[in-house]
Amino acid sequence: MKNLKLKVARIEKDLSQEELANIVGVSRQTIGLIEKGKYNPSLNLCISICKALNKTLDELFWEE
């Protein structure tokens, strides 16, 4: 399942995949794979992404 909420939140913060990846300490490819739903990030990575984007885990990663 694609993570469109993550992509939208990243774009709202005016960050590229590369910039977000640098902030949280992963590769650009990792961010791209998370957004495409092809990579299941660790809880620690999810928390880092949420902090970088000022979002909660529920806002970015909870499936309805």
CA dist list (Å): 9 to 23, 28: 14, 16
Distance CA 43, CA 19 (A): 20
Residue 61 lies in a domain: no
Residue 37 resides in a domain: yes
pLDDT per residue over 4-32, tens digit each? 999 999 999 999 999 999 999 999 999 99
Domain of 52, in residue numbers: 4-56
Report the domain count for the chain: 1
Per the domain annotation, does 26 fall within a domain? yes
Question: What is the share, in percent, of the chain residues with pLDDT greater than 90?
Answer: 92
Q: Check which CATH number belongs to the domain holding 51 and give it.
A: 1.10.260.40
SS3 62: coil
* Assigned domain for 31 exists: yes
pLDDT at 15: 98
- Is residue 17 in some structural domain? yes
User: Angle, to 10 degrees, between the axis of helix 17-24 and the axis of helix 43-53?
Assistant: 120
Determine if the pTM surpasses 0.75: yes
